[in-house]
Chains A and B, each alone.
Chain A
Amino acid sequence: MPKQIPLVDTDIHERVQYEELLEYLDEPFKHYIQNCHWIQEKHMPYTQPSVAGVDRADAVVPDGRPAGSDLAFMQEQLLDDIGHEFGILTGALDPSPSSMHGWYEMAAALASAYNDWQIDKWLDKDERLYGSVHVAAQDRDEAVKEIERVGNHPKMVQVLLPIDDIMWGDPYYHPIFEAAEKHNLMIGMHHNEPPVYYGKWPRYFIEWHTLIPTAHMKQVTNMIFNGVFEKFPNLGLMMIEGGFTFIPHMMWKMDQQFRDLRHEVPWLKRKPSDIMKKHVRFCTQPSEELNKKDFMSLIEQMGTEEMICFATDYPHWDYDSPHRALPNLDQELKKKIYFENAKNFYPKIPDTKER
């Protein structure tokens, strides 16, 4: 990372182990995990991508626990080593309450337990770390209750919604956005297991991983055309781990479509690219290897230096090193990407010296 520039890392994956959730769960949900061995189903058919599955091989906790499950080791390997100013926890999406098919009661109980565990074991233990409110969003009313319960925690900065196959801009989910806005929370979207091939899995992980940005593009399009940001003017959306090189294409495409087809979405009072510039931010990771010239031309095409925020995605295999992932940019732009853009986006992140 460039020297003298503070870092807000917008995507750090802490991981819970089911047995750690037990003390935060009420019965009978505790019973289902403890005695009936319930775990959430996962669907991704590829577990082989890299040396240690989808984790950095050197991030496995020395005592053998999975990567991301120990604060002290994360501090040593990431926060202290890099010198983070702030980091935003986004969970490991395992469990991912909003991704559950059925059994909404368990999903809602899991979300609450997860939030209490996150506050207790991470947010209260390291002043640099900020958190995401986990909800079971498919049960909208329970999700709103959970946001009401923990949303005013000073270190909760966003409500996390996974990208699977639910389009969150649908008016059914708007009460979630209303509750988030009320508590000064942004929305963070991170893909879980989006079936990017027309509802199916491609043959190869490399195909799926290449196309994850398409799943992110779908959610941004859906949120904008469903008028979420016209209805909730203080709401922001952070797109996590989808990269950023598709932004100019999306802005051009949506604006052109809007000029032709505005009549269908008359509630939009601004052109889509203006809404995106004001309300939507994108994490840089996983960054393609751009040289400075290409990077700067992309920024020029975006028409703003304020839309992208640096993220490491620690401890995952496609981690971006703050020292090496981006080309050597000018100091002012670096400051925005590594720090200011995220800081200005999340109202609860303090100024560096306030801590």
Chain B
Amino acid sequence: MKEQVVCKTTDIQPGEMMESFFGKQNVLICRTPDGKFYAFMNQCNHQGAPLHKGMICGATTEQSEPGEYHYCHKGEILRCPWHGREFDIKNEGRMLANPDKKLPSFNVRVEDEDVIVYK
């Protein structure tokens, strides 16, 4: 299979996510506040938690100084429902604490109302 409609654009509000299927593959479709769509394997690369049960939120960033929090990227960070690892949706699903690790991702495009995942 090369491509598949995984949901409608109206199914996910900006800053939200849902699970879907790309063939047999359970995928996670995320929509960031700028309206863009992203697709990842719906399984955490740590111990395999179902990511759609986690949350989309912001993150305290590396620019924070000791004792002073800097929080941003609201709606762009995916947090795992188990151990809480944070993944940057707009940066290839890279883990904040270890950017060498990223969630396996899929290509996405939008045609009219259709969100299409393709390889």
Choose among B46, B47, B48, B81 the residue that contacts A57 (Cβ–Cβ < 8 A): B81
Chain A residue contacts of B82, Cβ below 8 A? 50, 56-58, 317-319
Asked if A320 CB lies within 8 Å of chain B CBs, one says yes
- Chain B stretch 67-90: residues in CB contact (< 8 A) with chain A: 79-84
- Chain B stretch 56-114: residues in CB contact (< 8 A) with chain A: 79-84
- A83 CB → nearest B CB, Å: 16
Interface residues on B, range: 10 to 19
Which listed segment binds B: A33-41, A218-226, A321-329, A344-352? A321-329
- A176 CB → nearest B CB, Å: 35
| Structural contact, B50 and A325, CB atoms closer than 8 A | no
Q: Which residue of B lies closest to A324 (CB)?
A: B47
Chain A residue contacts of B83, Cβ below 8 A? 50, 317-319
| Structural contact, A51 and B47, CB atoms closer than 8 A | no
Asked if B53 CB lies within 8 Å of chain A CBs, one says yes
- Chain A stretch 285-322: residues in CB contact (< 8 A) with chain B: 317-321
- B28 CB → nearest A CB, Å: 13
Asked if B55 CB lies within 8 Å of chain A CBs, one says yes
Chain A residue contacts of B54, Cβ below 8 A? 51, 57
Asked if A52 CB lies within 8 Å of chain B CBs, one says yes
Report the bound CA distance from A320 to B50 in whole Å: 14
Asked if B7 CB lies within 8 Å of chain A CBs, one says no
Chain A residue contacts of B50, Cβ below 8 A? 58
Chain B residue contacts of A321, Cβ below 8 A? 47-48
Classify the secondary structure of A's interface with B.
loop
Given contacts A51-B54, A51-B55, A51-B79, contact A58 B84 (CB under 8 A): no
Chain A residue contacts of B48, Cβ below 8 A? 321, 323-324
Given contacts A51-B54, A57-B54, contact A317 B84 (CB under 8 A): yes
| Structural contact, B47 and A325, CB atoms closer than 8 A | yes
Chain B residue contacts of A325, Cβ below 8 A? 47
Report the bound CA distance from A321 to B83 in whole Å: 11
Report the bound CA distance from A163 to B34 in whole Å: 48
Report the bound CA distance from A319 to B81 in whole Å: 11
| Structural contact, A52 and B81, CB atoms closer than 8 A | yes
| Structural contact, B47 and A50, CB atoms closer than 8 A | no
Chain B residue contacts of A323, Cβ below 8 A? 47-48
Asked if B5 CB lies within 8 Å of chain A CBs, one says no
Report the bound CA distance from A321 to B47 in whole Å: 6
Report the bound CA distance from A52 to B54 in whole Å: 9
Q: Which residue of A lies closest to B52 (CB)?
A: A58
Asked if A49 CB lies within 8 Å of chain B CBs, one says yes
- Chain B stretch 3-58: residues in CB contact (< 8 A) with chain A: 46-50, 53-55
- A185 CB → nearest B CB, Å: 32
- A2 CB → nearest B CB, Å: 15
- B96 CB → nearest A CB, Å: 14
Interface string of A26-60 (1 = CB under 8 A from B): 00000000000000000000000111100011100
Q: Which residue of B lies closest to A322 (CB)?
A: B47
Q: Which residue of B lies closest to A319 (CB)?
A: B82
Report the bound CA distance from A321 to B49 in whole Å: 9
- B41 CB → nearest A CB, Å: 15
Report the bound CA distance from A50 to B81 in whole Å: 8
Chain B residue contacts of A50, Cβ below 8 A? 79, 82-84
- B79 CB → nearest A CB, Å: 5
Report the bound CA distance from A319 to B79 in whole Å: 15
Q: Which residue of B lies closest to A58 (CB)?
A: B53
Chain A residue contacts of B53, Cβ below 8 A? 57-58
Report the bound CA distance from A76 to B80 in whole Å: 21
| Structural contact, A58 and B47, CB atoms closer than 8 A | no
- B43 CB → nearest A CB, Å: 10
Report the bound CA distance from A294 to B48 in whole Å: 22
Given contacts A57-B53, A324-B47, contact A49 B84 (CB under 8 A): yes
Question: Which residues of chain B have a CB within 8 Å of any CB of chain A?
Answer: 46-50, 53-55, 79-84
A-B contact pairs, 6 of them (CB 8 A): A51-B54, A52-B81, A57-B53, A319-B83, A321-B47, A324-B46
Question: Which residues of chain A have a CB within 8 Å of any CB of chain B?
Answer: 49-52, 56-58, 317-321, 323-325
* For the complex of A and B, 9 pairs with smallest distance between CB atoms: A57-B81, A58-B53, A50-B84, A324-B47, A321-B47, A58-B81, A51-B55, A57-B53, A51-B79
Given contacts A51-B55, A51-B79, A56-B82, 4 further A-B contacts (CB under 8 A): A49-B84, A52-B81, A58-B53, A318-B82
